Amino acid sequence: MVARISLALTLAALLGAAPVAAQPDDLPVFRAGTELVDLYVTATDRNGRLVPDLLQDDFLVIDEGEEQEIVLFENEVRPITVVVMLDTSASMTPSLDLLMAGAEQFIIRMLPDDRAKVGAFNDKIQILPESDFIGDRDALIRELDRLQFGNPTRLYDAVAASIRELAGIEGRKVVLVFTDGEDTQNDIGWREVLEMARLEEVMIYTIGLESDYFNGVRRVRSRPDRRLRTFAEETGGGYFELEDTDDLGPTFTRVAQELHSQYVLGFVPPTRDGRVHEIDVRVKRRGTSVRARRSYIAPGD
């Protein structure tokens, strides 16, 4: 996110002092001073376990090949606003109960300040509730029962619709999408979806499932769309590919854990040219890897 850093953090950066983590009530508001690019970073060890104890000096941020000074560093939990978008096309019929149970596990692990909507896609796209994002977990679980089913898989359109729902929302924005197949019908291409995600600064998490189902004629084995990984890698989310529906609950739970265990790094964009900049977040600690979005749109004059 390109945001405005508070005066205290600006002074800290100018004086060479270590930035002080903002308090939860202040997190969405950056009032005066310098525009920042916010990066939400997931750190894991060689075994895929989350790494919670990294320091500011452990990170490097590279913008167009040039190292940037990190002037904001937090490892406090920031609230999320999320659309949980589920594939309810015909191929998912044998696994729908497990899918809904997995989504329920994610909703149960939402924190009090988190907000969400749930959605489904097939030949239609449905997002509930139709009003504002809500934090009532019981109400969100009830909305899962209202999701409808259909045939084709409008994957790209569903991700785009989720991003539109998040447009104008302040703070950290996430789309969590699940599918067991490839996009088979769309009004928008995957490149346009990525451009929307970059413009709205939305992080996309994707879960792909290989499944066997009867299509009315023969047994078919589906494979998740190969663009799922692209969406996740480009926006700083995570990609999970499963072969067993029994893994759905733990995977949805893992996504919730990651979203509540991320670091926030902020740097001042070196130029105000209004164009897309490629960025690379690195970590110095051996045996640790990090994920973050790979680009941002610099502010213009």
Residues of the chain with pLDDT under 70: 1-34, 212-216
Ramachandran angles phi, psi of 112, nearest 5°: -55, -30
What are the domain boundaries of the chain?
A: 2-76+262-297, 80-259
Model pLDDT, residue 28? 34
Model pLDDT, residue 3? 52
Model pLDDT, residue 23? 39
51 neighbors 44 (Cβ within 8 angstroms): yes
The DSSP letter of residue 135 is: -
80 neighbors 174 (Cβ within 8 angstroms): yes
Model pLDDT, residue 279? 97
The CATH number assigned to the domain with range 80-259 reads 3.40.50.410
Question: Which candidate, 108, 86, 115, places its Cα nearest to that of 174?
Answer: 115
Q: What is the pTM of this model?
A: 0.86
* Identity of the residue numbered 5: I
pLDDT tens, position by position, 241-265: 998 777 899 999 999 999 999 999 9
Diameter of the chain measured on Cα atoms: 71
Distance of CA 155 to the CA centre of its chain: 16
268 neighbors 12 (Cβ within 8 angstroms): no
Q: Which residue has the tokens 């084995």?
A: 221
For the chain, the first-to-last Cα distance in angstroms comes to 17
